[in-house]
Amino acid sequence: MKSHAYEVTAVDVGRLVLEVLAPCFGIALLLHAAVFLQLLPDPWPALDLERTVITHQAEASRTDHGANVVFVGDSSCLMDLSGTVLEQAAGDDLEYLNLGTFSYLGFGGFTTILARCVEQNRESLQMVVVLVHPQMLRNSDPAAEYLVFLSDYYAVADHMGAPSFYSRLESMLGLHIVRGRLLGRLPQVLPGAYGREYGFNLNLDRHMTRNLGSATDPNRYVAGSGQGTAEYRLAASLEPLCQGMKAVLPEGIKLAVALAPIPESMAPPEYTLRRDALLGRWADWMHADLVLTNLPAVMPDSLFATNTHLNEEGARRFTELMGRWLGELLRGEPATGPEKRAR
């Protein structure tokens, strides 16, 4: 017995498929034309947690905030500084701005962001503080995709993602335009604890704007969860990358370096001494004017959200120390807070 008969020809099938595909290419053409004619809004691809933070910070860096002190660094910089405390510490005469990013952009990425910020805030800027977690100095590779993302954002270009068959198909169909210019502007749910704390990308973006670029890590630290993996050393390969940062600063703007604190349970013996040595050597590579040696190297576990981020209370305490010292320094008052080492 025959299995089945086809009462359809190849031409019919071809017409069926073409009926669906042809308009897709028409829509793609329209999208590309709309970009060319500048009919669509600029890209704002805040599509997830990492990209929301980068987009926010990149946008902040190219805006004139009249900032006197700018913080640049990794996710510890983003999370360990409390926006509320900075605002209180600012008083009438000092403005702070935090440009820390969630995904690791490396010193190359930090320099790109800083260069934009310096361009916009040249008149007001007095000091740049580079704040990173000590583990970062081991020189893990920066996330290449996010570096491209950042440069695309600055170039007002549509980001296509890592090259693959899929990204090429997306780009041909103009879907990267939809994603970056339209979808990113609509609410996107943030994952896990960040979702519960902030909800959507738009809420995080607004939170960061209100908090001078800072965010709060909503996780809860489980003591000892990172023990055995902590390793604090300075990778030699970082030296050339570090030097770029000073180069983008005009004369008169001071460069300060600091390391974020680590949880008590993760600190090896005599960690403070080791941290100071590490910091000193890194400061030399950075050609830093100031080294913040007496900020706490270790803080109680209860003040941490994760191995590398302080929680809200921890960030408040750490920022109070940081803000007091910076305020006194910039106003030319004698230091009463943590010691500083002027170079």
| Burial classification of residue 120, based on how many CB atoms lie within 10 Å of its CB (0-12 exposed, 13-18 middle, 19 or more buried) | middle
List all residues 6 or more positions away from 111 whose beta carbon is below 8 Å from its beta carbon: 244, 245, 248
**Least Å distance between CB 13 and other proteins?**
7
**Least Å distance between CB 180 and other proteins?**
12
> Which tokens in the block code for residue 290?
């100031």
CB nearer to other proteins: give 74 or 217: 217
CB nearer to other proteins: give 13 or 342: 13
CB nearer to other proteins: give 35 or 253: 35
* Cα-Cα-Cα-Cα dihedral sign, residues 67, 70, 75, 80: negative
**Least Å distance between CB 154 and other proteins?**
25
Residue with tokens 């030296």: 239
- The span of 38-46, 116-124, 129-137, 178-186 binding other proteins (CB under 8 A) equals 178-186
DSSP for 184-236, please give it. Answer: GGS--BPPHHHHHHH-BHHHHHHHHHHTTT---------TTTTTTT------G
Nearest to 104 by CA among 72, 73, 131, 130: 73
**Least Å distance between CB 145 and other proteins?**
14
- Under the binding rule (CB under 8 A), the answer on residue 162 touching other proteins is no
Cα separation, 254 vs 178, in Å, equals: 42
- Under the binding rule (CB under 8 A), the answer on residue 167 touching other proteins is no
Q: Pick from 4, 36, 38, 236: which binds other proteins (CB under 8 A)?
A: 4
**Least Å distance between CB 24 and other proteins?**
5
Q: Pick from 39, 186, 277, 335: which binds other proteins (CB under 8 A)?
A: 186
- Under the binding rule (CB under 8 A), the answer on residue 6 touching other proteins is yes
Q: Residue 97: what are its φ and ψ, rounded to 5°?
A: -150, 130
Structural contact between residues 303 and 314, judged by C-beta atoms closer than 8 angstroms: yes
**Least Å distance between CB 242 and other proteins?**
35
> Which tokens in the block code for residue 129?
């503080």
Structural contact between residues 111 and 84, judged by C-beta atoms closer than 8 angstroms: no
Nearest to 260 by CA among 143, 105, 135: 135
- Beta bridge pairs of residue 299: 263
- Under the binding rule (CB under 8 A), the answer on residue 178 touching other proteins is yes
Structural contact between residues 156 and 38, judged by C-beta atoms closer than 8 angstroms: no
Cα separation, 191 vs 286, in Å, equals: 35
Size of the site for other proteins (CB under 8 A): 39
Scanning residues 200 to 219, which ones bind other proteins (CB under 8 A)?
A: 200, 202-203
- Under the binding rule (CB under 8 A), the answer on residue 170 touching other proteins is yes
**Least Å distance between CB 2 and other proteins?**
5
CB nearer to other proteins: give 185 or 317: 185
| Burial classification of residue 326, based on how many CB atoms lie within 10 Å of its CB (0-12 exposed, 13-18 middle, 19 or more buried) | buried
Q: Pick from 3, 229, 237, 336: which binds other proteins (CB under 8 A)?
A: 3
Scanning residues 15 to 44, which ones bind other proteins (CB under 8 A)?
A: 16, 19-24, 26-27
- The span of 1-9, 58-66, 124-132, 227-235 binding other proteins (CB under 8 A) equals 1-9
- Under the binding rule (CB under 8 A), the answer on residue 2 touching other proteins is yes
Scanning residues 134 to 153, which ones bind other proteins (CB under 8 A)?
A: none
CB nearer to other proteins: give 20 or 247: 20
- Under the binding rule (CB under 8 A), the answer on residue 107 touching other proteins is no
Binding site for other proteins (CB under 8 A): 1-8, 12-13, 16, 19-24, 26-27, 166, 169-170, 173, 175, 178-179, 183, 186-189, 191, 195-196, 198-200, 202-203
